[in-house]
Amino acid sequence: MNKQKRTEIFTRLRSENPNPTTELKFSSAFELLVAVTLSAQSTDVGVNKATDKLFPVANTPELIYALGVEGLKKYIKTIGLFNNKAKNIIAACKILIEKHNSIVPEDREALEALPGVGRKTANVILNTAFRQPTMAVDTHIFRVSNRTGIAPGKNVLEVEKRLVKFIPDEFLLDAHHWLILQGRYTCIARKPRCGSCIIEDLCEYKQKVYE
């Protein structure tokens, strides 16, 4: 796929949704950190239901740490892998309090040093909370990037690097959200909704299917 086609794809996605953001509910970088940690192998809807109850009670490292693992579990027990997630969040709170003055760090190395925070989670925090041009590649973005031909790759890291390289700079800050939404609601896994897709004529999926 050439630069002109990629530019047109993101121009259309921007026109349809000028200010995209995550569907996770948050009001601070710390709340986002907790929500993204909880979202692994879980839906945003499910995470929001849990944090709607948790955050009014505890939404700082000190307050969540004070709950303890068992106390936190009561709020997140409806979410998959909640046992491990509770342990990781409490451990992360301890590090934030002791090493970062309870402030979520703005650099990748410090973020990835937190329990439960991998490269994808760090990229979400850096992009959504701190507006850095990172690309968090989840299953939706991986599928859309390969299926459309925007940035094909054999693994998540390869796709991430190609997206950062190939997406025009003017779109890079918001591309993560546009691609997730495209994969979540239009370019779905089993049967993509091509007829309702605003970039259908630019996508290389049908071309591959019919060749």
Give me the catalytic one of 120, 154, 161, 165.
120
Give me the catalytic one of 5, 73, 107, 138.
138
**With contact defined as beta carbons under 8 Å apart, do 67 and 58 qualify?**
yes
Structure tokens belonging to residue 187: 């370019």
Q: What are the backbone angles phi and psi of residue 31, rounded to the nearest 5°?
A: -60, -40
Active site residue 25: no
Active site residue 120: yes
3-state secondary structure the chain: CCHHHHHHHHHHHHHHCCCCCCCCCCCCHHHHHHHHHHHCCCCHHHHHHHHHHHCCCCCCHHHHHHHHHHHHHHHHCCCCCHHHHHHHHHHHHHHHHHHCCCCCCCCHHHHHCCCCCCHHHHHHHHHHHCCCCCCCCCHHHHHHHHHHCCCCCCCHHHHHHHHHHHCCHHHHHHHHHHHHHHHHHCCCCCCCCHHHCCCHHHCCHHHHHHC
Q: Which residues are annotated as catalytic?
A: 120, 138
